[in-house]
C-alpha cells in the first residue's frame, strides 16, 4: 500500500516546476556583491555572476562597467577623455557602497547589485529597476532603469519618431536604408546616448558598446526603460547636470568636439546624382552665378569615376579634373567628391594591388579576403579598424588633393553591400583585439570618416570638408553627417528637422539633409519650403537622385527661384553669426540647430507633436517649419519676447498662436536680447564682404552675450591662436551693449561696426563710452521675404556706425 502524502511533500511537488525553472533560467543577473576594493576614484567589485567597476570621471560623470567574465581591455573609439581628478568620498557598510561628489551621489546596493543616482540634496535622478537591474541572456547584456513618473527621453542620435521617445524602442545597427519611411529603424548611424527628463531633473546615459544595441523607453512595457547590447560588456557613462545644455557639454567632453569647418562648407552646396561630364558641372556653376544664387560647393557623385573604381577619374567625362576644379575655384566654388569603401577586385587596378600587397582588407577566419558586391561589382573592403588600413587610406586620399578636390563624401559605409547582409564571421583588427563583424559593424563608418579626415588634413594642408552617412558616437571629431536617402514628402521634410535636432542633442552639430528629397521630384511648393528650412540647417545641400527631375532651384520656375535666391542670400548675410555659432560648437559641443528641449526642457508644450519640429538656429532664431500645403498653422512661442524677423512685430511668449503661412515666407522669430552679426551679401564665401559688420541688437528683459569669432576660414592657424574673438554683451539693467577687448592675433576683416537696434524707443539717445552722443538714425528698410534681385535686404530700424577698434568699449541708451 502507498503511504499517505504529507502536506510538506505536496508543497514541494507543487513548487518543483518553479524551482526547476529558476535553476535553469536563461537569464543571469549580476547577483549579490561579494567583494569590494576601493582605489582613489574607482570602486571595483565582484558579484556572484559578474565583475564590476565604477569610476568617477568628473564631479558630474560616473562610469559603470559590468561583465559576466573578467573586465576586458579598456578601449574606446568614442571616448577620448580621461578621468578628471575629483574630490570623491567613498564609504561602505554591509548593505551598500556610497560614492559622493559635489554634484551627485551614487548608491550601490550590495544584495543584490543595483545602483541609484541622487542629487546632492537627495532627489532620485535615476535608479535601477529592482529585481531586474543588469542581466544577461546568453551574450546579450541589458541594464533596466525604473521609469520615473512623467519621464521623457530625447536624443539617441539619428532616430526617427517623435522628439519625446517615451513609448518607443530602437535598435542601433547601421543600415543602408534607401528611401526609408518616416518611422523606419534602424537607419544609417549609431549614437547610443540619450537624455532622460523628469521632475525638473535631467541626466544623460551613454552606452559605449559597438555591438548591436537596443534601447527601450517603455515600449511594450510600463515598468522600465532599458539599454543593452548583443555582446561585450555593460559599459555606460552617467551624466548629471541641472541644465540639459551642460549634459551635452559633458558628453562632448567625453567623446570630443568638432574642429572649425572650412568657411566654404557653411555655404550652399549644389549636388546631383549625378553631374557629368565636366562641361555640365561648369554649366551648373555658371548658372548659379548668372542667376545670382550664392553658392560655394559642387559635389560629384559616383559617375566621376572610371567604372566606379575608387581613386580614378573617368577620362572621357573628366579628361582634366585638375583644370576643371581650377575653373570652379576661380568662380568661387569648391569641389566635393563621393567615395565608397569598396575596392574593386581587378588585377592591375592600383588600389586593389596595393591593398593586397599591404594586406589591409577585412577577412574571413581562414584569411581569405571578404568580397561583397557594390557599384564596381565584387569588391574588398579596407579595414579601417586597423592602423595599417587607416594609413593606407590616408595615403590614397592624396589623390584627391592632387586633383584640386577639397571635400570627401563618405558613402555606403554602414557597410552597405547588395543584399545588406555581411556575414557575422568576417574579422576586423579592431586596433589589436580581433573582432567579428558583430562588434565592428557599427564603428566602421566612423573609422572610414576618420581616415578620410586625417588623410585630407595631411595632404591638403588646409581644413577639408568631410561628410559621412554612417558613424558612431564621437564622429563629430572628424566629419559632418547627412540623413541619407530621403524622399520628397512633407512628412520627410519635417522628419529631417527632427533627425538633425536629435543629432544635435547627441553631440553632432554639423548635420543636414537632402533639400527637396533625394528619391523623386518634389512639388514646387515643397521645394520652396524645404530650401527655406535648409537655409537654417547647419549643412545646406540640395541633392536629387538619378532618373528624377533635375532639382536645381531654377527647375521649379521663376517664383521658386526667387524664393531660393532670397533665403540662400539671407544665409550668406548671416555668415558671421553662423560661423561664430560653429565656433561655439567647437568649445562647448552645443549644436547649431537646437531642439527647444535644450533651452525649454521642462515646458511640456515643446514636446507636443504639433510643436516638436520647432527649433532654435543658434541662440537667436526661432524657426517654425510647417508643411508647404498649409495656409494656417498653429505655433507655440516659449516664454519671453519674440520679434518677427521680417517686420520686428513683437510676440509675447508662453502662448500658442495661429499663423498665416505662405510659400514664400518661412516663419522665423528672433529672441529678445539677441545679438546677431551680419555682413553684406556675397555670392561665395571666397569673396570678401564690405568692411562693415552689422550687429543687430534686439531689446529685451534678459541679459545675453554672444562670442563673435573670425579666423582665415581655411587653415589650422586658429589652433595656434591666430583668430579674432570678441564677447558682445547686452545688459537691460545697465542699459548697455559692451564690446570686450578682442582676443587673438587675427585681424578682423571688418573695419567698421554698424549697430542696428530693434525694439528701442524712437527718441532714445546712444552714448558711447567716450561720452560721444549719437541719435538713432531713421529707419532704412526691413527684412523683405519677397527680396530683391540681390536677396533679402538687411533690417536697419535704428543704426549707428563705429570704427571697429580692438579695445573694450560700451554703448548705453
Residue with C-alpha cell 572650412? 262
Which is the catalytic residue, given 414, 454, 710, 793?
Answer: 414
Q: Beta-carbon neighbour count of residue 277 at 10 Å?
A: 15
Report how far Cα 334 is from the mean position of its chain's Cα atoms.
23
Which is the catalytic residue, given 164, 411, 454, 489?
Answer: 411
Residue pair 413/469 in contact (Cβ under 8 Å)? The answer is yes
Contacts for 94-97: CB closer than 8 Å, 24+ residues apart:
97/33, 97/36, 97/43, 97/45
485 is catalytic: yes
Residue pair 215/169 in contact (Cβ under 8 Å)? The answer is yes
In 59-118, which ranges are E strands? 61-67, 89-92, 96-100, 105-109, 114-118
411 is catalytic: yes
- DSSP lists the bridge partners of residue 61 as 58, 239
Residue pair 545/273 in contact (Cβ under 8 Å)? The answer is yes
Kindly give the pairing relationship between strand 650-652 and strand 140-146. Answer: unpaired
Q: State whether the Cα torsion 352-353-356-358 is positive or negative.
A: negative
Question: Cell numbers at residue 739, please?
Answer: 564690446
Which is the catalytic residue, given 485, 584, 672, 711?
Answer: 485
Helix (H, G, I), strand (E, B) or coil at 35: strand
CA separation for the pair 289, 295 (Å, rounded): 8
- Rounded to whole angstroms, the maximal C-alpha distance in the chain is 118
Q: Which of 449, 664, 702, 498 is nearest to 565 (CA)?
A: 664
CA separation for the pair 202, 646 (Å, rounded): 36
Question: Cell numbers at residue 655, please?
Answer: 502662448
- DSSP lists the bridge partners of residue 172 as 213
* Residue 265 zone, left/alpha/beta (φ > 0; ψ -120 to 50; rest): alpha
* Residues with active-site annotation: 411, 414, 485
Amino acid at each position: 500500500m502507498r503511504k499517505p502524502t504529507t502536506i510538506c511533500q505536496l508543497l514541494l511537488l507543487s513548487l518543483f516546476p518553479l524551482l526547476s525553472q529558476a535553476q535553469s533560467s536563461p537569464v543571469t543577473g549580476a547577483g549579490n556583491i561579494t567583494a569590494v576594493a576601493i582605489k582613489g576614484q574607482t570602486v571595483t567589485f565582484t558579484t556572484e555572476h559578474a565583475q564590476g567597476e565604477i569610476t568617477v570621471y568628473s564631479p558630474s560623470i560616473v562610469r559603470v562597467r559590468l561583465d559576466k567574465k573578467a573586465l576586458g581591455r579598456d578601449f574606446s573609439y568614442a571616448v577620448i577623455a580621461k578621468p578628471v581628478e575629483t574630490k570623491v568620498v567613498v564609504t561602505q557598510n554591509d548593505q551598500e557602497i556610497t560614492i559622493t561628489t559635489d554634484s551627485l551621489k551614487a548608491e550601490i546596493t550590495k544584495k543584490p547589485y543595483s545602483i541609484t543616482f541622487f542629487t546632492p540634496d537627495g532627489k532620485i535622478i535615476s535608479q535601477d529597476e529592482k529585481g531586474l537591474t543588469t542581466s544577461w541572456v546568453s551574450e546579450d547584456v541589458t541594464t533596466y532603469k525604473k521609469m520615473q513618473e512623467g519621464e521623457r527621453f530625447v536624443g539617441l542620435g539619428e532616430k526617427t519618431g517623435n522628439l519625446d521617445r517615451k513609448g518607443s524602442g530602437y535598435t542601433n545597427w547601421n543600415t543602408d536604408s534607401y528611401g526609408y519611411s518616416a518611422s523606419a529603424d534602424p537607419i544609417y548611424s549609431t549614437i547610443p546616448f540619450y537624455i532622460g527628463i523628469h521632475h525638473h531633473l535631467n541626466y544623460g546615459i551613454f552606452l559605449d558598446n559597438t555591438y548591436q544595441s537596443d534601447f527601450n523607453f517603455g515600449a511594450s512595457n510600463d515598468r522600465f526603460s532599458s539599454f543593452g547590447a548583443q555582446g561585450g560588456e555593460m559599459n555606460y557613462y552617467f551624466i548629471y547636470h541641472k541644465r540639459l545644455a551642460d549634459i551635452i557639454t559633458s558628453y562632448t567632453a567625453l567623446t570630443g568636439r568638432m574642429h572649425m569647418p572650412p568657411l566654404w562648407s557653411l555655404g550652399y552646396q549644389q549636388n546631383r546624382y549625378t553631374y557629368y561630364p565636366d562641361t555640365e558641372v561648369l554649366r551648373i556653376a555658371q548658372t548659379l552665378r548668372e542667376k545670382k544664387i550664392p553658392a560655394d560647393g559642387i559635389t560629384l557623385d559616383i559617375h566621376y569615376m572610371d567604372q566606379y573604381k575608387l581613386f580614378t577619374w573617368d577620362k572621357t567625362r573628366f579628361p582634366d579634373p585638375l583644370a576643371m576644379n581650377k575653373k570652379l575655384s576661380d568662380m568661387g566654388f569648391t569641389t566635393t567628391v563621393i567615395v565608397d569603401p569598396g575596392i574593386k577586385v581587378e588585377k592591375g587596378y592600383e588600389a586593389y594591388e596595393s591593398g593586397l600587397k599591404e594586406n589591409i582588407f577585412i577577412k574571413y577566419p581562414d584569411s581569405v579576403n571578404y568580397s561583397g558586391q557594390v557599384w564596381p561589382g565584387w569588391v574588398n573592403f579596407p579595414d579601417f579598424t586597423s592602423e595599417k588600413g587607416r594609413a593606407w587610406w590616408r595615403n590614397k586620399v592624396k589623390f584627391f588633393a592632387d586633383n584640386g578636390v577639397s571635400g570627401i563624401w563618405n558613402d555606403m559605409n554602414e557597410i552597405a553591400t547588395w543584399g545588406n547582409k555581411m556575414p557575422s564571421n568576417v574579422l576586423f583588427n579592431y586596433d589589436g583585439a580581433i573582432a567579428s563583424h558583430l562588434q565592428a559593424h557599427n564603428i566602421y563608418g566612423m573609422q572610414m570618416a576618420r581616415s578620410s579626415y586625417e588623410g585630407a588634413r595631411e595632404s591638403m594642408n588646409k581644413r577639408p570638408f568631410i561628410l559621412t552617412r554612417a558613424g558612431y558616437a564621437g564622429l563629430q571629431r572628424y566629419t559632418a553627417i547627412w540623413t541619407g536617402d530621403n524622399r520628397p514628402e512633407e512628412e520627410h521634410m519635417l522628419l529631417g528637422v527632427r533627425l538633425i535636432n536629435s543629432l544635435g542633442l547627441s553631440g553632432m552639430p554639423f548635420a543636414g539633409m537632402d533639400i527637396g528629397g533625394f528619391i523623386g521630384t518634389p512639388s514646387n511648393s515643397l521645394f520652396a519650403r524645404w530650401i527655406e528650412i535648409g537655409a537654417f540647417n547647419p549643412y545646406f545641400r540640395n541633392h536629387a537622385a538619378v532618373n528624377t527631375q533635375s532639382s536645381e532651384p531654377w527647375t521649379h520656375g521663376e517664383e521658386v527661384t526667387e524664393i531660393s535666391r532670397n533665403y540662400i542670400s539671407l544665409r550668406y548675410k548671416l555668415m558671421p553669426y553662423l560661423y561664430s555659432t560653429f565656433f561655439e560648437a567647437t568649445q562647448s559641443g552645443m549644436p547649431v540647430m537646437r531642439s527647444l528641449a535644450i533651452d525649454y526642457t521642462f515646458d511640456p508644450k515643446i514636446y507636443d507633436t504639433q510643436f516638436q519640429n520647432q527649433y532654435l538656429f543658434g541662440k537667436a532664431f526661432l524657426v517654425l517649419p510647417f508643411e508647404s500645403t498649409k495656409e494656417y498653422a498653429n505655433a507655440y512661442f516659449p516664454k519671453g519676447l519674440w520679434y518677427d524677423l521680417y517686420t520686428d512685430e513683437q510676440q509675447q511668449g508662453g502662448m500658442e498662436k495661429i499663423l498665416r503661412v505662405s510659400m514664400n515666407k518661412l516663419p522665423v522669430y528672433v529672441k529678445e536680447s539677441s545679438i546677431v552679426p551680419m555682413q553684406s551679401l556675397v555670392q561665395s564665401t571666397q569673396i570678401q564682404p564690405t568692411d562693415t559688420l552689422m550687429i543687430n541688437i534686439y531689446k529685451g528683459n534678459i541679459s545675453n552675450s554672444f562670442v563673435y569669432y573670425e579666423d582665415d576660414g581655411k587653415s589650422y592657424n586658429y589652433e595656434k591662436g591666430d583668430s579674432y574673438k570678441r564677447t558682445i554683451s547686452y545688459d537691460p539693467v545697465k542699459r548697455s551693449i559692451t564690446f570686450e577687448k578682442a582676443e587673438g592675433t587675427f585681424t578682423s576683416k571688418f573695419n567698421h561696426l554698424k549697430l542696428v537696434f530693434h525694439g528701442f524707443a524712437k527718441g532714445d539717445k546712444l552714448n558711447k563710452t567716450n561720452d560721444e552722443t549719437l541719435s538713432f538714425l531713421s529707419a532704412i528698410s526691413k527684412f523683405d521675404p519677397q527680396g530683391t534681385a540681390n536677396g533679402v535686404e538687411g533690417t536697419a530700424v535704428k543704426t549707428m556706425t563705429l570704427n571697429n577698434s580692438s579695445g573694450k568699449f560700451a554703448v548705453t541708451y
